[in-house]
Structures are given as C-alpha cells and as structure tokens.
Structure 1
Amino acid sequence: MKIFYGLLLCFPLLANAASTPVTPDSLQASIAKNGAASTISSLNEKDFGKLNEGIANAAPDWLALVPKLAPAMEGGNADAIVEAMARGLAKNPAAVLNSVSTPEMSGWTGRDALCSMPFPDDDETSLTRYYRQTEPALKKLGKPVASCLNQLDQAFAELRNNAQSRQKYSLNRKTLTPALLWQALDKDGVEKVASTLSTKQHQFIGESISQGDREWLLIADTLAPASNPQTHAMLLTSLASALTVNPGETLKAAEGHFDTELLCAMPFPEASNKTLTGYYQKTRTALLKIRRRGEACLKVLDDEYATMLKSASGQ
C-alpha cells in the first residue's frame, strides 16, 4: 500500500515536469538523477522537438547532451537525433563531431550515418542545398574531419548519379530550376554553363536571384566566378536587388565576388531617380535591420544616394 501511495504522489510531479519546457539544464539534472533511459521515456513529442532543434542548431549546451542521451535512444528517436546532428554539421561541424568522439559514443550506431546526408524525406533540391552548405564548413577544418567529408562527398555523388540516371538534364527547357542548374554545374562546370545560357535564361536567373531566396543566392555564389560578361552583369544587378529583401544572405553570397563599393552603389544605370529613391529607401531599411553586418554597405548606399541628389539639384 505504501508503494502504491508513493506512486500516486509521483504522478502530479510527472505532470508538472511534462508541462514545463525542457532545457539543457533540466535534462542534465534528470539524467544525473534518473539516468538517460528514464529521462528519454519521460519526454513527450514537444520535448523531443525542442531537443532536436537545439542539436540541429549546434548549440553547445544541447550538444553536450548527445553523449549521454544518444546511446540510449532507439527507433525513430534514434533516427531523429542523427538527423538533427547532421543538420548541425553546416553550422558548427567541430562541435558536432566532438560530441560523437567521447568514450560514451564509441559504440553509437548512428556514427556511420551522420555524415551521409541521413534525410530520407528530403528531396533532391534540399539535399543539394544541404551539401552546398555543409561541404565548405567541413573543408575549413581540414584533416581532422577528412573521413566525414569523404562520406558526405560520396553521398552527394550517389545522389547526383541517381538523379542523372533518372533524368537527363537540359538547359534548353522553358523553366530553369535550382536543381537543374546544380546538375549542369556539377557536370560541366561554371564557365561552360555560363557561356551556354541564353539572354532569356540570364534574365530568368537574375529575376529569381533578385527575390532573395536562399537557394538562388547559392546559385549566384556558384556562378559568380564565371568570366562571362553577361553573367557577371546579371549577377551584380540581381544581387543588388536582393539586398532589399534579404540583405544578410545576399552580402554573404556576394562576398569575395563583388566589391561593396560596387554592389551597394545602386548599380542600375538605366533607372530613373524616382525608381532609385524607392530602391534606396527599401534597401536602407533592410540594411538597418541587420545592424553591423550591413554598415559598410549602408555607408556606400547613403553616399551614392547623396551624390544622386546633389547631381539632380545641379550642384
């Protein structure tokens, strides 16, 4: 009877714990007191979502939980934490890989899948975008992560080969897509692709980039080294247009390809002063939102607008 009564007393405590959002500290305390298996069994769907979100963002306090929780997870929860850690590779590969290098993780079965794009529900475009973000992050770390980088490259090569076997790409289609361009770029390289794009295709790509979508900005970053003058001019104006809607990622895509003094100086020679004024106001507002990251561009933009006003007034 005493045991039964004790269990009844525990139920309110468990209910209160379930209603409180989990944090790294609360999970660490639970693991220390009850063990990993018991802690995992007490988590609900929302708790697991919070845990996986923190790991996917490569937050150090959430990653610190991985060696303690991952080995005790099974089934769908085990797969989900592998996916979350793989998402974190693009953001902080060193921290993610360090979390699986501890003694507790020596027998962890998810290690082999971690670097192989373990996202069964992602389409080809999403997987390609993931590779484009993660591969450079791993390359920066050099030899210590060579094995992981090799696995990632192999997984992407398999994805690319499967895609090409299913559908032979053609840049003569009516509508270009990022996936189609990635296939062409991977097979033929930047210079050949840029040289084969028609005027209409250049225009379509430029309009797509100007919308500030991350996938198209990655395309812009990849095409930027091309020596083709039409491609270079298209990228300059489309990236300048994208500053209005997604300044942070646009500046990142343009970095190393276009000088700030050129990109942020309203490079639209055929635009009227009225159009340029509207562009200036929208872009200035967007740059102010990203604060220090946009300061250099904002200064160039302000100077160019002041020059335009001075010229318009005849001074």
Structure 2
Amino acid sequence: MRTIGVAAILAALSLPALSADLTPGDFRALLAESDATVVLRSLDEASWNAFLTHVEAGDRGWIDLVPLLAAGTDAGTSESLVITLSRALRANPQGVLSVLASSSYAASDICVDNEIEISTLDAVRLIDEALVKVAGVLDPALSQVRNECIYALSDARIAALI
C-alpha cells in the first residue's frame, strides 16, 4: 500500500483525474487531519462516485469508511451512502452488518429496497438475494443486527409485492 502525505492527498483532490485514485488509506489520512465535512467538501464528483462504487462492490476497506464519513454528510450524500450500503448487502453482507452494528445506521434504513424505478419482480429478486446473503452471516457478534436486517428485508419484500 502506498503512503502519501496529507498535503499530497489534498493536492490530488484538486485534480479530478487523480482524485478518483484515492485509496481507503488515503481517506483515513485525510480524516486524521480534517473532519468528515471538510473531506467530503473537498471531493469532486469523480472521487465521490469512485468511493460509492467501491462500497457498493463490497470492498471492506471502503465500507469501513462509511461511518467515518457519515458525520460530514448533507442530506444528498447521506442518502447516497444509505442506498450504496443497501446495495452492498448483496456483495458483502458481513461488512455492511458490521457497519450497522457499530454505527447509528438502522437496519430499517439499509436492509430495504433502495432501488429506483425497477419492476416489482426485479425488486423482489434483489431483496431475495440480499436475504440469502444476510442469512448466511453466522458471526455471533452480528446475530442481532443480522436478525434485524432479515426482518427489515422481509418487510421490504412484502411491501414490494403489495
């Protein structure tokens, strides 16, 4: 993993072509020097979209950054994080459940159908996929949040069918 000074990272943020190349370690270095609001305001659209793409893909290093950045979000970025964590359930349910267990996010916000303008059949298919993945998390430390998520996903499935 490369080591970059905070000044170099901040300089990279001013160059859109470079800023999307930030790593989770780069974000942690930025957060060690500035609060989450400053870090989020310094991101360009490419950086933010790259961050969300990594989280949605289930990369644990990126998922673990979500609670650290959440404190600096506005309504739009907060909603983006919730939707992205919801989608990440299918890629890395254990990582998302760990975030739920250690942050102020609620299962009722994350373990739902957060897809926009999809058919009922597609919504149910995605919920079912998440249900199977979440049910497969057997870590005893995550059992309570896993069960909360299963109940929330079950409710979302019923709501999608109604």
Please, what TM-score do these two structures have when normalized by structure 2?
A: 0.79
**Root-mean-square deviation (Å):** 2.1
CA distance in 2, matches of 1:159, 1:73: 29
Is 1:115 matched with 2:96? no
CA distance in 2, matches of 1:47, 1:59: 16
Q: Are the aligned partners of 2:112 and 2:127 in contact in 1 as well (CA < 8 Å)? A: no
Unaligned runs of 5+ in 1: 1-11, 162-315
Is 1:136 matched with 2:123? no
- Over 3 Å counting, the alpha-carbon distance change for 1:73 and 1:16 in structure 2 is closer
Paired residue for 2:121?
125
* Identity of matched residues, %: 19
CA apart distance, 1:133: 1.2
- Over 3 Å counting, the alpha-carbon distance change for 1:80 and 1:146 in structure 2 is same
Structure of higher RCO (CA pairs closer than 8 Å, 6+ residues apart): 2
Paired residue for 1:149?
150
Unaligned runs of 5+ in 2: 1-9
CA distance in 1, matches of 2:150, 2:42: 36
CA distance in 2, matches of 1:100, 1:112: 10
- Over 3 Å counting, the alpha-carbon distance change for 1:112 and 1:132 in structure 2 is closer
CA apart distance, 1:112: 3.0
- Over 3 Å counting, the alpha-carbon distance change for 1:27 and 1:15 in structure 2 is closer
Paired residue for 1:29?
29
CA apart distance, 1:119: 2.2
Count of equivalent residues: 146
CA apart distance, 1:61: 0.8
Paired residue for 1:188?
none
Amino acid of the residue matched to residue 85 of structure 1?
A: L
Matches within 5 A, 1:57-136: 57-102=57-102, 105-106=103-104, 108=105, 111-136=107-132
Q: Are the aligned partners of 1:67 and 1:100 in contact in 2 as well (CA < 8 Å)? A: no
CA apart distance, 1:80: 1.0
CA apart distance, 1:114: 0.4
- Over 3 Å counting, the alpha-carbon distance change for 1:77 and 1:122 in structure 2 is farther
Matched residue SS, 2:87: helix
Task: Give 1 or 2 for the bigger CA radius of gyration.
Answer: 1
